[in-house]
Amino acid sequence: MKRHRLAPILAALLSALALPHAATAQDTGGTAASVIVPSRERPVATIRSEEQQARDWGLQTDEWARYRELMQGPLGVYSPNLDPLTALGIEARSDEERRRYAELQVQAEARRVEKMLAYQRAYDAAWQRLAPGMQRVSLPGISPATSAAGLVQSTGRTAVFVKDGCAACDQAVQRLQASGAEFDVYVVGSRADDTHI
């Protein structure tokens, strides 16, 4: 009984699969079938966009093309999110080329970090204006007294975040030194200036 119910379904499925082929054979009517070939031409907007992207990274258009080509190969499979300077630096053809890409990347990173720090300073100022009494980070298991002193402990070494002129911070560091514990000190607001520390 099951075969009788499946037969109409199977017949409908087979005829549905055969219909596109039959229509194609009738449509040609003795004329040659056309083949669609993708164009290699690119819109002007795309070309300008790629030229702009190359300039954004400090690259020539031929270097940008090489980056795109590299990302179509194994490098793009292993590391699909590599930026152009890293990709070209990894696949550099000479020490001079590698050095050039490294220098371009340092310059790009320095610009990016400066922008991030400028935004962080604006964010910090906004936080102080809009939510001066609110804690920015609340770590589970950390008491208010401990967090006020800037102590954060995990399974490894203790990290102590201090600010210049913070008496509670100085006391916390002195207690840790007296206990013989290993810890790392991070000075907040020093802007990575060791002379300030």
Residues 122 and 70 in one domain: yes
Query: Is 74 inside any structural domain?
Result: yes
Domain boundary among 104, 128, 152: 128
Domain residues for the domain of 92 are: 46-128
User: For tokens 């409908």, what's the residue?
Assistant: 12
In this predicted structure, the answer to whether residue 73 has a pLDDT above a threshold of 80 is yes
| Other CB atoms within 10 A of residue 106 CB | 11
Query: Is 26 inside any structural domain?
Result: no
Residues 148 and 96 in one domain: no
Residues 124 and 151 in one domain: no
In this predicted structure, the answer to whether residue 1 has a pLDDT above a threshold of 70 is no
CA angle 70, 81, 44 (to 5 degrees): 65
Query: Is 103 inside any structural domain?
Result: yes
User: For tokens 């199977």, what's the residue?
Assistant: 10
Query: Is 25 inside any structural domain?
Result: no
Query: Is 27 inside any structural domain?
Result: no
Q: Whole-model pTM?
A: 0.48
Percent of the chain with pLDDT over 90: 41
| Other CB atoms within 10 A of residue 21 CB | 9
Burial class (CB in 10 A: 0-12, 13-18, 19+), 85: buried
pLDDT tens per residue across span 88-112 = 999 999 999 999 999 999 999 999 9
CA–CA gap between residue 174 and residue 180 (Å, rounded): 10
Residues 104 and 64 in one domain: yes
Total domains, the chain: 2
